[in-house]
Chains A and B, each alone.
Chain A
Amino acid sequence: MTYRTISRRSILAGLTTAATAGALALAGCSRSDPLGTDAGNDAGTASSRTIVIGSQDYYSSEIIAEIYAQALEDADYTVDRQFRIGQREAYAPEIEAGAIDLFPEYTGPLLQYWKPDTESRLSEDVYAELLETTPDGLRLLDQSPATDQNGYTVTQEFADEWDLTTIGDLTKVTTPLTLGANSEGEHRPYGPEGLATTYGVEVAFTPIEDDGGPLTVKALKDGDIQLAIIYTADPSIAENGLVSLEDPKGLFIASHVVPLVSDNVDDAAAAIINKISAAMNPEDLIALNARSVKEELPAATIASDWLAQQNLG
Protein backbone atom coordinates (compact mmCIF):
# COMPACT_ATOMS: atom_id res chain seq x y z
CA MET A 1 0.00 0.00 0.00
CA THR A 2 2.81 2.35 0.92
CA TYR A 3 4.41 1.73 -2.41
CA ARG A 4 1.19 2.54 -4.25
CA THR A 5 0.80 5.83 -2.36
CA ILE A 6 4.29 6.85 -3.26
CA SER A 7 3.89 5.89 -6.87
CA ARG A 8 0.92 8.21 -7.09
CA ARG A 9 2.92 10.92 -5.39
CA SER A 10 5.74 10.52 -7.82
CA ILE A 11 3.30 11.16 -10.64
CA LEU A 12 2.10 14.30 -8.86
CA ALA A 13 5.59 15.50 -8.15
CA GLY A 14 6.65 14.79 -11.71
CA LEU A 15 3.80 16.87 -13.01
CA THR A 16 4.57 19.65 -10.58
CA THR A 17 8.21 20.04 -11.36
CA ALA A 18 7.97 19.32 -15.06
CA ALA A 19 5.37 21.88 -15.94
CA THR A 20 4.80 24.82 -13.64
CA ALA A 21 3.62 26.86 -16.61
CA GLY A 22 1.55 24.05 -18.02
CA ALA A 23 -0.03 23.38 -14.65
CA LEU A 24 -2.56 26.15 -15.04
CA ALA A 25 -3.72 24.81 -18.35
CA LEU A 26 -3.72 21.28 -16.92
CA ALA A 27 -5.86 22.34 -13.97
CA GLY A 28 -8.11 24.32 -16.24
CA CYS A 29 -8.82 21.64 -18.76
CA SER A 30 -9.15 18.75 -16.38
CA ARG A 31 -11.36 19.94 -13.56
CA SER A 32 -13.12 16.59 -13.50
CA ASP A 33 -9.80 14.77 -13.16
CA PRO A 34 -8.73 14.67 -9.49
CA LEU A 35 -5.13 14.01 -10.46
CA GLY A 36 -4.95 17.08 -12.69
CA THR A 37 -6.63 19.32 -10.12
CA ASP A 38 -4.26 18.21 -7.37
CA ALA A 39 -1.28 18.94 -9.54
CA GLY A 40 -2.61 22.41 -10.16
CA ASN A 41 -3.07 23.07 -6.46
CA ASP A 42 0.38 21.78 -5.60
CA ALA A 43 1.97 24.02 -8.16
CA GLY A 44 0.12 27.03 -6.84
CA THR A 45 1.27 26.61 -3.23
CA ALA A 46 4.67 25.03 -3.69
CA SER A 47 6.39 27.01 -0.95
CA SER A 48 4.13 25.64 1.80
CA ARG A 49 3.76 22.14 0.39
CA THR A 50 3.91 19.24 2.79
CA ILE A 51 7.41 17.86 3.34
CA VAL A 52 7.37 14.10 2.74
CA ILE A 53 9.85 12.35 5.05
CA GLY A 54 10.90 8.76 4.39
CA SER A 55 13.01 6.25 6.29
CA GLN A 56 14.63 2.89 5.66
CA ASP A 57 13.05 -0.25 7.00
CA TYR A 58 15.52 -0.10 9.89
CA TYR A 59 14.62 1.06 13.39
CA SER A 60 17.55 3.45 13.69
CA SER A 61 16.70 5.17 10.41
CA GLU A 62 13.10 5.57 11.55
CA ILE A 63 14.19 7.27 14.78
CA ILE A 64 16.32 9.79 12.88
CA ALA A 65 13.48 10.46 10.42
CA GLU A 66 11.10 10.97 13.34
CA ILE A 67 13.51 13.50 14.87
CA TYR A 68 13.51 15.44 11.59
CA ALA A 69 9.72 15.26 11.46
CA GLN A 70 9.15 16.55 14.97
CA ALA A 71 11.70 19.36 14.64
CA LEU A 72 10.05 20.52 11.39
CA GLU A 73 6.59 20.30 12.93
CA ASP A 74 7.80 22.46 15.82
CA ALA A 75 8.74 25.05 13.21
CA ASP A 76 5.21 24.89 11.74
CA TYR A 77 6.03 22.80 8.70
CA THR A 78 3.51 20.18 7.65
CA VAL A 79 5.14 16.77 7.30
CA ASP A 80 3.98 13.50 5.85
CA ARG A 81 5.68 10.45 7.38
CA GLN A 82 6.41 7.62 4.92
CA PHE A 83 8.61 5.52 7.18
CA ARG A 84 9.98 1.98 6.91
CA ILE A 85 9.90 1.98 3.13
CA GLY A 86 12.47 -0.75 2.59
CA GLN A 87 15.95 -1.15 1.22
CA ARG A 88 17.76 1.41 -0.90
CA GLU A 89 16.81 -0.38 -4.12
CA ALA A 90 13.16 0.25 -3.26
CA TYR A 91 13.22 3.84 -2.05
CA ALA A 92 16.05 5.49 -3.97
CA PRO A 93 14.06 5.72 -7.24
CA GLU A 94 11.23 7.41 -5.31
CA ILE A 95 13.63 10.02 -3.92
CA GLU A 96 15.16 10.55 -7.34
CA ALA A 97 11.65 11.05 -8.76
CA GLY A 98 10.92 13.69 -6.13
CA ALA A 99 8.25 11.70 -4.31
CA ILE A 100 10.12 11.97 -1.02
CA ASP A 101 11.56 15.28 0.16
CA LEU A 102 13.71 14.31 3.11
CA PHE A 103 15.44 11.04 3.88
CA PRO A 104 18.08 10.16 6.49
CA GLU A 105 20.82 8.45 4.50
CA TYR A 106 24.26 7.00 5.18
CA THR A 107 27.16 8.48 3.22
CA GLY A 108 29.17 5.36 2.26
CA PRO A 109 26.36 3.03 1.23
CA LEU A 110 24.60 5.84 -0.65
CA LEU A 111 27.78 6.66 -2.58
CA GLN A 112 28.24 2.97 -3.39
CA TYR A 113 24.65 2.82 -4.61
CA TRP A 114 25.20 5.63 -7.11
CA LYS A 115 28.83 4.77 -7.83
CA PRO A 116 29.53 1.10 -7.08
CA ASP A 117 33.21 1.30 -8.06
CA THR A 118 34.10 4.26 -5.83
CA GLU A 119 37.49 4.12 -4.18
CA SER A 120 36.70 6.64 -1.45
CA ARG A 121 36.67 5.14 2.03
CA LEU A 122 37.41 7.86 4.57
CA SER A 123 34.72 10.18 5.87
CA GLU A 124 35.68 13.45 4.12
CA ASP A 125 36.52 11.81 0.79
CA VAL A 126 33.23 9.96 0.77
CA TYR A 127 31.24 13.10 1.56
CA ALA A 128 33.08 15.16 -1.06
CA GLU A 129 32.54 12.55 -3.76
CA LEU A 130 28.93 12.10 -2.71
CA LEU A 131 28.30 15.84 -3.15
CA GLU A 132 29.53 15.54 -6.76
CA THR A 133 27.56 12.36 -7.43
CA THR A 134 24.21 13.51 -6.06
CA PRO A 135 21.80 13.86 -9.03
CA ASP A 136 20.25 17.18 -10.04
CA GLY A 137 17.13 18.09 -8.11
CA LEU A 138 18.48 16.50 -4.95
CA ARG A 139 20.82 17.98 -2.42
CA LEU A 140 22.85 16.71 0.50
CA LEU A 141 22.77 18.59 3.76
CA ASP A 142 25.70 18.52 6.21
CA GLN A 143 26.85 15.09 7.29
CA SER A 144 26.45 14.31 10.97
CA PRO A 145 29.31 13.16 13.20
CA ALA A 146 27.03 10.20 13.98
CA THR A 147 28.07 7.05 12.12
CA ASP A 148 26.54 3.66 11.68
CA GLN A 149 28.90 1.43 9.77
CA ASN A 150 30.44 -2.02 9.76
CA GLY A 151 33.29 -2.39 12.20
CA TYR A 152 35.64 -5.12 13.35
CA THR A 153 34.63 -6.02 16.86
CA VAL A 154 36.43 -7.95 19.62
CA THR A 155 35.65 -8.62 23.25
CA GLN A 156 36.89 -6.11 25.85
CA GLU A 157 39.02 -8.84 27.49
CA PHE A 158 40.67 -9.67 24.18
CA ALA A 159 41.32 -5.98 23.50
CA ASP A 160 42.83 -5.52 26.98
CA GLU A 161 44.91 -8.67 26.75
CA TRP A 162 46.61 -7.59 23.52
CA ASP A 163 46.25 -3.81 23.98
CA LEU A 164 44.14 -3.30 20.87
CA THR A 165 42.74 0.05 19.69
CA THR A 166 42.91 -0.12 15.91
CA ILE A 167 42.54 -2.99 13.46
CA GLY A 168 46.29 -2.72 12.76
CA ASP A 169 46.99 -3.57 16.42
CA LEU A 170 45.80 -7.10 15.63
CA THR A 171 49.28 -7.78 14.22
CA LYS A 172 50.42 -7.88 17.87
CA VAL A 173 48.26 -10.93 18.51
CA THR A 174 50.33 -14.10 18.35
CA THR A 175 47.51 -16.64 18.68
CA PRO A 176 45.50 -17.63 15.57
CA LEU A 177 42.62 -15.30 14.71
CA THR A 178 39.27 -16.40 13.31
CA LEU A 179 36.79 -13.98 11.82
CA GLY A 180 33.10 -14.87 12.05
CA ALA A 181 30.76 -13.09 9.64
CA ASN A 182 28.13 -13.66 6.97
CA SER A 183 29.23 -15.94 4.14
CA GLU A 184 29.75 -13.13 1.66
CA GLY A 185 32.26 -11.48 4.03
CA GLU A 186 34.83 -14.09 3.02
CA HIS A 187 35.19 -12.59 -0.44
CA ARG A 188 34.39 -8.94 0.19
CA PRO A 189 37.23 -6.38 -0.07
CA TYR A 190 36.97 -5.76 3.67
CA GLY A 191 37.17 -9.50 4.46
CA PRO A 192 40.23 -11.63 5.24
CA GLU A 193 41.97 -10.48 2.06
CA GLY A 194 41.49 -6.79 2.87
CA LEU A 195 42.69 -7.37 6.43
CA ALA A 196 45.87 -8.91 5.08
CA THR A 197 46.64 -6.32 2.39
CA THR A 198 45.54 -3.19 4.29
CA TYR A 199 46.64 -4.02 7.82
CA GLY A 200 48.85 -7.12 7.45
CA VAL A 201 46.51 -9.14 9.68
CA GLU A 202 46.05 -12.82 8.81
CA VAL A 203 42.75 -14.37 9.82
CA ALA A 204 40.82 -17.59 9.22
CA PHE A 205 37.13 -17.36 8.35
CA THR A 206 34.02 -19.06 9.65
CA PRO A 207 30.51 -18.23 8.44
CA ILE A 208 27.81 -17.17 10.91
CA GLU A 209 24.73 -16.04 9.04
CA ASP A 210 23.04 -13.74 11.52
CA ASP A 211 24.45 -10.31 10.55
CA GLY A 212 26.46 -9.85 13.72
CA GLY A 213 23.48 -10.89 15.84
CA PRO A 214 23.23 -13.01 18.99
CA LEU A 215 24.94 -16.10 17.52
CA THR A 216 27.92 -14.00 16.50
CA VAL A 217 28.13 -12.38 19.94
CA LYS A 218 27.91 -15.81 21.58
CA ALA A 219 30.73 -17.11 19.38
CA LEU A 220 32.89 -14.10 20.32
CA LYS A 221 32.28 -14.64 24.02
CA ASP A 222 32.92 -18.39 23.74
CA GLY A 223 36.20 -17.66 21.97
CA ASP A 224 35.15 -19.70 18.90
CA ILE A 225 35.92 -16.57 16.94
CA GLN A 226 38.07 -13.60 17.98
CA LEU A 227 36.83 -11.10 15.44
CA ALA A 228 33.34 -10.24 14.21
CA ILE A 229 31.74 -7.63 11.98
CA ILE A 230 29.08 -5.70 13.93
CA TYR A 231 27.53 -2.29 13.21
CA THR A 232 29.33 0.36 15.25
CA ALA A 233 26.03 1.86 16.46
CA ASP A 234 24.65 -1.52 17.55
CA PRO A 235 23.69 -1.35 21.25
CA SER A 236 24.79 -4.99 21.66
CA ILE A 237 28.42 -3.81 21.56
CA ALA A 238 28.16 -1.95 24.88
CA GLU A 239 25.71 -4.43 26.33
CA ASN A 240 27.99 -7.42 25.79
CA GLY A 241 31.30 -5.80 26.68
CA LEU A 242 32.59 -5.67 23.11
CA VAL A 243 34.84 -3.10 21.46
CA SER A 244 34.84 -1.79 17.89
CA LEU A 245 38.40 -1.45 16.63
CA GLU A 246 39.27 1.81 14.93
CA ASP A 247 39.71 1.70 11.17
CA PRO A 248 42.14 4.54 10.33
CA LYS A 249 42.96 3.14 6.87
CA GLY A 250 39.32 2.90 5.85
CA LEU A 251 38.82 -0.83 5.30
CA PHE A 252 35.11 -0.18 5.69
CA ILE A 253 33.62 2.77 3.84
CA ALA A 254 32.72 5.63 6.20
CA SER A 255 29.00 5.80 6.83
CA HIS A 256 27.82 9.04 8.43
CA VAL A 257 24.19 9.96 8.83
CA VAL A 258 23.41 12.49 6.10
CA PRO A 259 20.05 14.00 5.12
CA LEU A 260 19.19 13.75 1.43
CA VAL A 261 16.62 16.40 0.47
CA SER A 262 14.64 17.60 -2.53
CA ASP A 263 14.17 21.21 -3.65
CA ASN A 264 10.94 21.24 -1.66
CA VAL A 265 12.99 21.60 1.53
CA ASP A 266 13.68 25.34 1.83
CA ASP A 267 16.71 26.95 3.47
CA ALA A 268 14.95 27.48 6.81
CA ALA A 269 14.01 23.80 6.97
CA ALA A 270 17.52 22.82 5.88
CA ALA A 271 18.96 24.92 8.72
CA ILE A 272 16.81 23.04 11.24
CA ILE A 273 17.96 19.66 9.89
CA ASN A 274 21.60 20.77 9.82
CA LYS A 275 21.37 21.77 13.47
CA ILE A 276 20.10 18.27 14.31
CA SER A 277 22.91 16.63 12.32
CA ALA A 278 25.53 18.75 14.08
CA ALA A 279 24.10 17.95 17.51
CA MET A 280 23.95 14.19 16.96
CA ASN A 281 27.22 12.47 17.87
CA PRO A 282 28.00 8.75 17.54
CA GLU A 283 27.25 8.10 21.23
CA ASP A 284 23.84 9.73 20.83
CA LEU A 285 22.98 7.41 17.97
CA ILE A 286 23.99 4.34 19.99
CA ALA A 287 21.90 5.61 22.91
CA LEU A 288 18.91 6.21 20.64
CA ASN A 289 19.24 2.71 19.19
CA ALA A 290 19.58 1.22 22.67
CA ARG A 291 16.34 2.84 23.79
CA SER A 292 14.60 1.23 20.85
CA VAL A 293 16.16 -2.21 21.30
CA LYS A 294 16.19 -2.46 25.10
CA GLU A 295 13.28 -0.31 26.27
CA GLU A 296 11.26 -1.02 23.12
CA LEU A 297 10.01 2.56 23.03
CA PRO A 298 8.31 3.91 19.91
CA ALA A 299 10.38 6.13 17.62
CA ALA A 300 8.18 9.14 18.43
CA THR A 301 8.98 8.99 22.16
CA ILE A 302 12.69 8.43 21.61
CA ALA A 303 12.80 11.33 19.14
CA SER A 304 10.93 13.85 21.30
CA ASP A 305 13.01 12.95 24.38
CA TRP A 306 16.23 13.48 22.45
CA LEU A 307 15.07 16.79 20.97
CA ALA A 308 14.10 18.03 24.45
CA GLN A 309 17.41 16.92 25.87
CA GLN A 310 19.32 18.74 23.11
CA ASN A 311 17.11 21.83 23.52
CA LEU A 312 16.16 21.49 19.88
CA GLY A 313 12.51 20.67 20.46
Chain B
Amino acid sequence: MNLIAEALAWLAEPANWSGPGGIPARTGQHLAITALTILLAGLIAWPAGVLIGHTRRGAGIVGALTGAARAIPTLGLLTLFGLGLGIGLTAPLLALIVLAIPSLLAGTYAGIQAIDPAIPAAARAIGMSPAQVILTVEVPLAMPVIIGGLRSATLQVVATATLAAYTADIGLGRYLFAGLKSRDYTEMLGGALVVVALTLVLEVALAICQSVARRIVDPASRTQRTPA
Protein backbone atom coordinates (compact mmCIF):
# COMPACT_ATOMS: atom_id res chain seq x y z
CA MET B 1 0.00 0.00 0.00
CA ASN B 2 2.79 2.30 0.96
CA LEU B 3 4.48 1.63 -2.37
CA ILE B 4 1.33 2.61 -4.24
CA ALA B 5 1.11 5.84 -2.27
CA GLU B 6 4.74 6.56 -3.15
CA ALA B 7 4.09 5.76 -6.80
CA LEU B 8 1.17 8.19 -6.81
CA ALA B 9 3.43 10.79 -5.22
CA TRP B 10 5.95 10.11 -7.98
CA LEU B 11 3.20 10.71 -10.52
CA ALA B 12 2.23 13.96 -8.80
CA GLU B 13 5.81 15.25 -8.73
CA PRO B 14 5.96 18.21 -11.16
CA ALA B 15 9.61 17.50 -11.99
CA ASN B 16 8.53 14.24 -13.60
CA TRP B 17 6.19 16.06 -15.96
CA SER B 18 8.70 18.18 -17.84
CA GLY B 19 11.73 17.85 -20.05
CA PRO B 20 12.74 15.22 -22.59
CA GLY B 21 12.53 12.45 -19.97
CA GLY B 22 9.21 13.66 -18.53
CA ILE B 23 5.96 11.75 -18.51
CA PRO B 24 4.30 13.71 -21.37
CA ALA B 25 7.31 13.27 -23.66
CA ARG B 26 7.63 9.56 -22.84
CA THR B 27 3.87 9.04 -23.25
CA GLY B 28 3.98 10.78 -26.63
CA GLN B 29 6.84 8.53 -27.75
CA HIS B 30 4.99 5.52 -26.45
CA LEU B 31 1.83 6.43 -28.36
CA ALA B 32 3.83 7.18 -31.49
CA ILE B 33 5.57 3.81 -31.51
CA THR B 34 2.24 2.08 -30.81
CA ALA B 35 0.56 3.91 -33.70
CA LEU B 36 3.47 3.25 -36.05
CA THR B 37 3.46 -0.45 -35.14
CA ILE B 38 -0.29 -0.80 -35.72
CA LEU B 39 -0.06 1.11 -38.99
CA LEU B 40 2.78 -0.99 -40.38
CA ALA B 41 1.29 -4.25 -39.10
CA GLY B 42 -2.08 -3.18 -40.57
CA LEU B 43 -0.53 -2.57 -44.00
CA ILE B 44 0.38 -6.25 -44.01
CA ALA B 45 -2.47 -7.81 -42.03
CA TRP B 46 -5.53 -5.93 -43.33
CA PRO B 47 -5.10 -6.65 -47.07
CA ALA B 48 -4.06 -10.22 -46.31
CA GLY B 49 -7.06 -10.70 -44.03
CA VAL B 50 -9.46 -9.23 -46.60
CA LEU B 51 -8.05 -11.54 -49.27
CA ILE B 52 -8.40 -14.63 -47.07
CA GLY B 53 -11.87 -13.65 -45.95
CA HIS B 54 -13.06 -12.75 -49.44
CA THR B 55 -11.77 -15.89 -51.15
CA ARG B 56 -12.65 -18.00 -48.08
CA ARG B 57 -9.35 -19.82 -48.64
CA GLY B 58 -6.23 -20.26 -46.54
CA ALA B 59 -7.85 -19.42 -43.21
CA GLY B 60 -6.70 -22.73 -41.74
CA ILE B 61 -3.05 -22.36 -42.63
CA VAL B 62 -2.82 -18.63 -41.96
CA GLY B 63 -4.73 -19.08 -38.74
CA ALA B 64 -2.33 -21.76 -37.57
CA LEU B 65 0.74 -19.73 -38.57
CA THR B 66 -0.39 -16.50 -36.92
CA GLY B 67 -1.58 -18.45 -33.91
CA ALA B 68 1.89 -19.91 -33.58
CA ALA B 69 3.38 -16.43 -34.04
CA ARG B 70 1.49 -15.30 -30.94
CA ALA B 71 3.55 -17.75 -28.92
CA ILE B 72 6.87 -16.14 -29.89
CA PRO B 73 8.27 -14.29 -26.88
CA THR B 74 8.61 -10.69 -27.97
CA LEU B 75 11.71 -10.03 -25.87
CA GLY B 76 13.51 -12.97 -27.48
CA LEU B 77 12.49 -11.79 -30.91
CA LEU B 78 13.66 -8.28 -30.07
CA THR B 79 17.10 -9.57 -29.03
CA LEU B 80 17.31 -11.61 -32.21
CA PHE B 81 16.44 -8.61 -34.41
CA GLY B 82 18.77 -6.45 -32.33
CA LEU B 83 21.71 -8.78 -32.95
CA GLY B 84 21.04 -8.54 -36.68
CA LEU B 85 20.13 -4.89 -36.97
CA GLY B 86 21.89 -3.24 -34.05
CA ILE B 87 20.41 -0.97 -31.42
CA GLY B 88 17.80 1.66 -32.12
CA LEU B 89 14.11 1.62 -32.90
CA THR B 90 14.08 -0.85 -35.80
CA ALA B 91 14.47 -4.04 -33.76
CA PRO B 92 11.71 -3.32 -31.23
CA LEU B 93 9.44 -2.02 -34.00
CA LEU B 94 9.79 -5.26 -35.97
CA ALA B 95 9.21 -7.37 -32.87
CA LEU B 96 6.07 -5.38 -32.04
CA ILE B 97 4.78 -5.71 -35.62
CA VAL B 98 5.11 -9.49 -35.31
CA LEU B 99 3.12 -9.22 -32.09
CA ALA B 100 0.36 -7.10 -33.68
CA ILE B 101 -0.18 -8.98 -36.93
CA PRO B 102 -2.03 -12.09 -35.62
CA SER B 103 -4.83 -10.14 -33.93
CA LEU B 104 -5.29 -7.74 -36.85
CA LEU B 105 -5.26 -10.56 -39.38
CA ALA B 106 -7.59 -12.84 -37.44
CA GLY B 107 -10.07 -10.02 -36.82
CA THR B 108 -10.15 -9.13 -40.50
CA TYR B 109 -10.62 -12.55 -42.05
CA ALA B 110 -12.89 -13.81 -39.31
CA GLY B 111 -15.08 -10.72 -39.68
CA ILE B 112 -15.42 -11.14 -43.42
CA GLN B 113 -15.92 -14.89 -43.28
CA ALA B 114 -18.67 -14.49 -40.72
CA ILE B 115 -20.80 -12.56 -43.24
CA ASP B 116 -23.68 -14.61 -44.60
CA PRO B 117 -22.38 -15.82 -48.02
CA ALA B 118 -25.72 -14.81 -49.53
CA ILE B 119 -24.93 -11.12 -49.05
CA PRO B 120 -21.74 -10.91 -51.19
CA ALA B 121 -23.43 -13.29 -53.66
CA ALA B 122 -26.36 -10.87 -53.92
CA ALA B 123 -23.96 -7.96 -54.38
CA ARG B 124 -22.27 -9.78 -57.24
CA ALA B 125 -25.67 -10.60 -58.71
CA ILE B 126 -26.66 -6.95 -59.00
CA GLY B 127 -23.44 -6.38 -60.98
CA MET B 128 -20.88 -5.24 -58.43
CA SER B 129 -17.22 -5.79 -59.28
CA PRO B 130 -15.09 -7.83 -56.81
CA ALA B 131 -13.48 -4.60 -55.58
CA GLN B 132 -16.90 -3.06 -54.97
CA VAL B 133 -18.05 -6.18 -53.15
CA ILE B 134 -15.02 -6.01 -50.87
CA LEU B 135 -14.97 -2.27 -50.23
CA THR B 136 -18.67 -1.47 -50.06
CA VAL B 137 -20.16 -4.72 -48.73
CA GLU B 138 -17.72 -7.00 -46.97
CA VAL B 139 -15.37 -4.58 -45.21
CA PRO B 140 -18.15 -2.36 -43.83
CA LEU B 141 -20.10 -5.37 -42.59
CA ALA B 142 -16.98 -6.86 -41.01
CA MET B 143 -15.95 -3.54 -39.46
CA PRO B 144 -17.02 -4.29 -35.86
CA VAL B 145 -14.92 -7.48 -35.85
CA ILE B 146 -12.02 -5.77 -37.64
CA ILE B 147 -12.06 -3.06 -34.96
CA GLY B 148 -12.20 -5.84 -32.38
CA GLY B 149 -8.94 -7.19 -33.80
CA LEU B 150 -7.49 -3.69 -33.78
CA ARG B 151 -8.57 -3.35 -30.17
CA SER B 152 -6.79 -6.48 -29.00
CA ALA B 153 -3.70 -5.73 -31.09
CA THR B 154 -3.53 -2.21 -29.64
CA LEU B 155 -3.93 -3.56 -26.13
CA GLN B 156 -1.01 -5.93 -26.62
CA VAL B 157 1.22 -3.43 -28.39
CA VAL B 158 0.70 -0.51 -26.04
CA ALA B 159 1.56 -2.72 -23.07
CA THR B 160 4.51 -4.40 -24.79
CA ALA B 161 5.88 -1.19 -26.34
CA THR B 162 7.68 -0.76 -23.01
CA LEU B 163 10.24 -3.08 -24.62
CA ALA B 164 11.20 -0.33 -27.07
CA ALA B 165 13.30 1.01 -24.22
CA TYR B 166 15.37 -2.17 -24.30
CA THR B 167 17.51 -0.84 -27.12
CA ALA B 168 16.38 2.75 -27.58
CA ASP B 169 15.83 5.84 -25.46
CA ILE B 170 12.11 5.71 -26.15
CA GLY B 171 8.78 5.26 -24.43
CA LEU B 172 7.43 4.58 -20.97
CA GLY B 173 9.52 1.42 -20.69
CA ARG B 174 12.47 3.62 -19.68
CA TYR B 175 10.85 4.12 -16.26
CA LEU B 176 10.39 0.38 -15.85
CA PHE B 177 13.92 -0.60 -16.82
CA ALA B 178 15.57 2.20 -14.86
CA GLY B 179 13.45 1.43 -11.79
CA LEU B 180 13.98 -2.30 -11.99
CA LYS B 181 17.76 -2.25 -12.07
CA SER B 182 18.22 0.43 -9.46
CA ARG B 183 15.51 -1.01 -7.18
CA ASP B 184 13.58 2.22 -7.51
CA TYR B 185 10.23 0.49 -7.38
CA THR B 186 8.41 3.79 -6.96
CA GLU B 187 9.52 4.93 -10.39
CA MET B 188 8.81 1.50 -11.79
CA LEU B 189 5.29 1.34 -10.44
CA GLY B 190 4.65 4.96 -11.42
CA GLY B 191 5.70 4.18 -14.98
CA ALA B 192 3.59 1.03 -14.99
CA LEU B 193 0.54 3.01 -13.83
CA VAL B 194 0.98 5.43 -16.73
CA VAL B 195 1.09 2.44 -19.12
CA VAL B 196 -2.07 1.05 -17.52
CA ALA B 197 -3.85 4.38 -17.79
CA LEU B 198 -2.83 4.75 -21.42
CA THR B 199 -3.98 1.22 -22.19
CA LEU B 200 -7.36 1.84 -20.56
CA VAL B 201 -7.88 5.09 -22.46
CA LEU B 202 -7.13 3.39 -25.79
CA GLU B 203 -9.27 0.40 -24.83
CA VAL B 204 -12.28 2.57 -24.01
CA ALA B 205 -11.83 4.68 -27.14
CA LEU B 206 -11.66 1.61 -29.38
CA ALA B 207 -14.59 -0.03 -27.58
CA ILE B 208 -16.65 3.05 -28.40
CA CYS B 209 -15.51 2.88 -32.05
CA GLN B 210 -16.50 -0.77 -32.11
CA SER B 211 -19.98 -0.18 -30.77
CA VAL B 212 -20.52 2.73 -33.17
CA ALA B 213 -19.46 0.48 -36.04
CA ARG B 214 -21.80 -2.23 -34.81
CA ARG B 215 -24.70 0.22 -34.67
CA ILE B 216 -24.03 1.35 -38.23
CA VAL B 217 -23.78 -2.22 -39.53
CA ASP B 218 -26.81 -3.46 -37.63
CA PRO B 219 -29.09 -0.53 -36.72
CA ALA B 220 -31.67 -2.93 -35.30
CA SER B 221 -29.40 -3.76 -32.38
CA ARG B 222 -29.89 -0.36 -30.75
CA THR B 223 -33.29 0.73 -32.10
CA GLN B 224 -34.91 0.90 -28.68
CA ARG B 225 -32.76 3.82 -27.59
CA THR B 226 -31.79 5.49 -30.85
CA PRO B 227 -34.53 5.20 -33.45
CA ALA B 228 -32.82 5.61 -36.81
Judge if A219 is at the interface, Cβ distance under 8 Å: yes
Cβ < 8 Å to A, chain B residues 161-214: 165-169, 174, 177-178, 181-182, 184
**Shortest Cβ gap from A242 to chain B (Å):** 16
Cβ < 8 Å to B, chain A residues 183-222: 183-184, 186-188, 205-210, 214-215, 218-219, 222
- Which residues in B have their C-beta under 8 angstroms from that of A225? 87
**Shortest Cβ gap from B149 to chain A (Å):** 30
Are the C-beta atoms of B169 and A215 separated by less than 8 Å?
Answer: no
Q: Which residue of A lies closest to B174 (CB)?
A: A183
**Shortest Cβ gap from B175 to chain A (Å):** 9
Judge if A182 is at the interface, Cβ distance under 8 Å: yes
Are the C-beta atoms of B178 and A224 separated by less than 8 Å?
Answer: no
Is the interface on chain A under 10, 10 to 19, 20 to 34, or 35 or more residues?
Answer: 20 to 34
Cβ < 8 Å to A, chain B residues 118-177: 165-169, 174, 177
- Which residues in A have their C-beta under 8 angstroms from that of B88? 224
Return the contact of A208 from the options B167, B181, B184 (Cβ within 8 A).
Answer: B167
- Which residues in A have their C-beta under 8 angstroms from that of B174? 183, 207
Q: Which residue of A lies closest to B182 (CB)?
A: A184
**Shortest Cβ gap from A249 to chain B (Å):** 23
Judge if B58 is at the interface, Cβ distance under 8 Å: no
Are the C-beta atoms of B83 and A182 separated by less than 8 Å?
Answer: no
Task: Give the dominant DSSP class at A's interface.
Answer: mixed
Return the contact of A187 from the options B82, B166, B178 (Cβ within 8 A).
Answer: B178
Are the C-beta atoms of A215 and B165 separated by less than 8 Å?
Answer: no
Are the C-beta atoms of B87 and A180 separated by less than 8 Å?
Answer: yes
CA A188 – CA B181 in complex, angstroms? 11
Judge if B86 is at the interface, Cβ distance under 8 Å: yes
- Which residues in A have their C-beta under 8 angstroms from that of B177? 182-184, 207, 209
Q: Which residue of B lies closest to A188 (CB)?
A: B182
Judge if B79 is at the interface, Cβ distance under 8 Å: yes
- Which residues in A have their C-beta under 8 angstroms from that of B169? 205-207
In the complex where A183-B165, A215-B167 touch, is A208 in contact with B87 (Cβ < 8 A)?
A: yes
- Which residues in B have their C-beta under 8 angstroms from that of A219? 86-87
Given contacts A182-B177, A207-B165, 8 further A-B contacts (CB under 8 A): A183-B178, A184-B178, A208-B87, A208-B167, A210-B166, A215-B87, A218-B82, A222-B86
B residues sitting closer than 8 Å to A (CB atoms) are 79, 82-83, 86-88, 165-169, 174, 177-178, 181-182, 184
A-B contact pairs, 15 of them (CB 8 A): A182-B181, A207-B165, A207-B169, A208-B87, A209-B166, A209-B167, A210-B79, A210-B166, A214-B79, A214-B83, A215-B83, A215-B87, A215-B167, A218-B86, A224-B88
